[in-house]
């Protein structure tokens, strides 16, 4: 995993991402988000929650609480580092490639869409490939009528620290398009940075593993939902049976 490389040698991604960028981006920016978050949540109800839960709770359906930005940035950066590897890039394979071709038409069309999302995110933010299971395109809204068609890969972009966890999507890949991510290596040429990231750095193995986890999570949720519906139906039919019995009892006594 890249984080281990970063701990031992910060030139692991050269020449595509320089040691200077990693020292500055990982060593200063990412570190600051983590340290500030720890200070912000100590002694609060968020202390002790998983980082994912801190993000969702502090997103507060779009009315963000103060720790949100540091929590989401801490998570986003770790996810970003793990999305890369020395000698990455190229093309995915297996089910990931099949789903990309199904949902975007071809791998090239996906690349175009991902690069465009990353290049056109106005100001600071992120671009993502995510697995969307059974939710609507509404913040934190539960889809009452999920279908197979809802399960698909999507490309989305997000401003500042926001990430797709807050829409209940499963992120699979991300690129940081804050200027601090590329300025030392590419100055203001964001599209060049995005191309190098996709061509030389992405770890498709990691993205494939994340897809497996996302699909397993969606299946588990569906099973839980079915069990809940069944229990509800059973409870309702028991209630009806009691009513029939009570009605019958009353008519006999009249
Ligand atoms: Fe960053």
pLDDT at 168: 85
If you search the block for the tokens 């991604």, which residue do you land on?
13
Q: Mind listing the pLDDT tens digit for each residue in 157-178?
A: 999 999 999 988 999 999 999 9
Look at the pTM and tell me if it is higher than 0.95.
Answer: no
SS (H, E, C) the chain: CHHHHHHHCCCCCCCCCCHHHHHHHHHHHHHHHHHHHHHHHCCCCCCCCCHHHHHHHHHHHHCCCCCHHHHHHHHHHHHHHHCECCCCCCCCCHHHHHHHHHHHCCHHHHHHHHHHHHHHCCCCEEEEEEEECCECCCCCCECCCCCHHHCEEEEEEEECCCCHHHHCCEEEEEEECCHHHCHHHHCCCHHHHHHHHHHHHECHHHHHHHHHHHHHHHHHHHHHHHHHHHHHHHHHHHHHHHHHHHHHHHHHHC
CA of 142 to the centre of ligand 1 (A): 31
Residue 142: the pLDDT is: 60
- d(CA 6, ligand 1 centre) in Å: 15
- Counting residues of the chain whose pLDDT is more than 90, the rounded percentage is 71
Separation between Cα atoms, residue 133 and residue 148, nearest integer Å: 9
175 CA distance to ligand 1 middle (Å): 9
Query: pLDDT band at residue 117, thresholds of 50, 70 and 90?
Result: very high
Distance 62 CA to ligand 1 centre (A): 21
On the question of pLDDT at 253 being above 60, the answer is: no
For residue 242, what pLDDT is reported?
A: 65
185: its two tokens: 């290596």
Q: What is the pLDDT, as a whole number, of residue 1?
A: 56
Give residue 203's pLDDT band: very low, low, confident or very high (50, 70, 90).
very high
pLDDT at residue 99 above 90? yes
How far, in Å, is the centroid of ligand 1 from the Cα of 80? 9
In angstroms, what is the span from residue 191 Cα to ligand 1's centroid?
16
**In whole angstroms, how far apart are CA 70 and each of 25, 44, 54, 95, 172?**
15, 15, 10, 34, 21
Q: Say yes or no to pLDDT of 224 above 90.
A: no
**What mean pLDDT do residues 46-67 have?**
93
Q: According to the annotation, is 180 in a ligand binding site?
A: yes
Expressed in angstroms and rounded, the spacing between residue 186 Cα and the centre of ligand 1 is: 15
Q: How far is the CA of 141 from the centre of ligand 1 (A)?
A: 28
Contact between 53 and 75 under an 8 Å Cβ cutoff? The reply is no
25 is an annotated ligand-binding site residue: yes
**Ligand 1 centroid distance, CA of 79 (Å):** 11
- pLDDT, averaged across the chain: 89
Over residues 207-221, the mean pLDDT reads 94
- Give the residue-averaged pLDDT of 95-107: 97
Cα 201 from Cα 219, distance rounded (Å): 31
What is the model's pLDDT at position 251?
Answer: 47
Residue 252, pLDDT score: 46
- Delineate the domains of the chain, giving CATH numbers in brackets: 19-137+146-216 (3.55.40.20)
To the question of whether residue 16 is assigned a binding role by annotation, the answer is no
176 has binding-site annotation: yes
Average pLDDT, stretch 114-132?
96
**From ligand 1's centre to the CA of 254, what distance in Å?**
78
Is 162 within 8 Å of 174 (Cβ atoms)?
A: no
């Amino acid at each position: 995993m890249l984080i281990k490389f970063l701990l031992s040698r910060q030139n692991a991604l050269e020449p595509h991402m320089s040691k200077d960028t990693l020292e500055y981006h990982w060593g200063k920016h990412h570190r600051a988000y983590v340290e500030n978050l720890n200070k912000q949540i100590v002694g609060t109800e968020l202390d002790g929650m998983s980082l994912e839960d801190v993000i969702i709770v502090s997103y507060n359906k779009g009315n963000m609480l103060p720790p949100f930005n540091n929590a989401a940035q801490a998570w986003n950066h770790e996810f970003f580092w793990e999305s890369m590897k020395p000698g990455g890039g190229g093309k995915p394979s297996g089910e990931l490639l099949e789903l990309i071709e199904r949902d975007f038409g071809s791998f090239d069309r996906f690349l175009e869409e991902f690069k465009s999302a990353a290049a056109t995110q106005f100001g600071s933010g992120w671009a993502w490939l995510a697995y969307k299971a059974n939710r609507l395109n509404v913040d934190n809204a539960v889809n009452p009528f999920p279908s197979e068609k809802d399960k698909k890969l999507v490309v989305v972009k997000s401003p500042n620290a926001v990430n797709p966890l807050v829409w209940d999507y499963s992120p699979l890949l991300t690129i940081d398009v804050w200027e601090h991510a590329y300025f030392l290596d590419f100055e203001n040429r964001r599209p060049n940075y995005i191309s190098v990231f996709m061509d030389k750095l992405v770890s498709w193995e990691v993205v494939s593993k994340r897809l497996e986890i996302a699909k397993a999570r969606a299946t588990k949720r569906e099973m839980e939902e079915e069990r809940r519906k069944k229990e509800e139906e059973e409870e309702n039919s028991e209630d009806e049976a009691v009513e029939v019995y009570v009605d019958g009892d009353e008519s006999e006594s009249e």
